[in-house]
């Protein structure tokens, strides 16, 4: 069951991320579309992902397959951003895109009640969360770090 569910999520996610890259003319547009895709695919499949992620906390087999799926999405998301590295002004673009993915994914996972923090699920406004993560991520990538 998990393999079928994650295959569907992975396929939908890969197609959506590729489409986001194809449709984007600027780094800001790419960031926005990648985050929107990640958010909406996770939300669409949250009813099956939530129990799988809870089970992964004690089931090594479920955890391993979940980590594989996460890693595939992370790799594609990061690579699509790194393809625009000339527009990224952070001194370490690889670090920056890795951090963006980790933070964005964690925020969505918390909102959707994935993992052990189910009491925080559905807090706040979904649209506002997406917009703020898009703006913060774009600013972080475009402006880099200041000493």
Torsion sign (Cα): 47, 53, 56, 61: positive
Using CB atoms within 10 Å of the CB of residue 136, give its burial: 0 to 12 exposed, 13 to 18 middle, 19+ buried.
Answer: middle
Q: Calculate mean pLDDT across residues 3-32.
A: 95
Q: Calculate mean pLDDT across residues 68-78.
A: 95
CATH assignment of the domain containing 48: 1.10.357.10
If one counts the domains in the chain, the total is 1
User: What does the pLDDT read at residue 3?
Assistant: 81
Closest CA to 141 of 51, 22, 20, 30: 30
pTM: 0.90
Closest CA to 69 of 44, 51, 42: 42
- Residue 119, domain extent: 2-143
Largest CA distance in the chain: 49
Q: For the segment 97-121, what is each residue's pLDDT rounded down to a tens digit?
A: 999 999 999 999 999 988 755 555 6
């Amino acid at each position: 069951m998990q393999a079928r569910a994650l295959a569907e999520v992975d396929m939908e996610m890969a197609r959506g991320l590729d489409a986001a890259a194809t449709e984007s003319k600027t780094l800001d547009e790419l960031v926005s579309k990648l985050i929107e895709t990640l958010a909406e695919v996770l939300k669409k499949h949250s009813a099956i992902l939530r129990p799988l992620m809870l089970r992964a906390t004690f089931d090594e087999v479920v955890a391993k397959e979940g980590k594989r799926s996460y890693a595939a999405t992370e790799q594609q998301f990061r690579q699509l951003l790194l393809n625009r590295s000339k527009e990224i002004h952070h001194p370490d673009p690889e670090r920056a895109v890795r951090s963006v993915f980790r933070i964005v994914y964690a925020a969505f996972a918390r909102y959707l009640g994935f993992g052990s923090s189910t009491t925080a699920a559905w807090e706040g406004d979904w649209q506002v969360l997406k917009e703020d993560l898009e703006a913060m991520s774009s600013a972080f990538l475009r402006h880099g770090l200041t000493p």
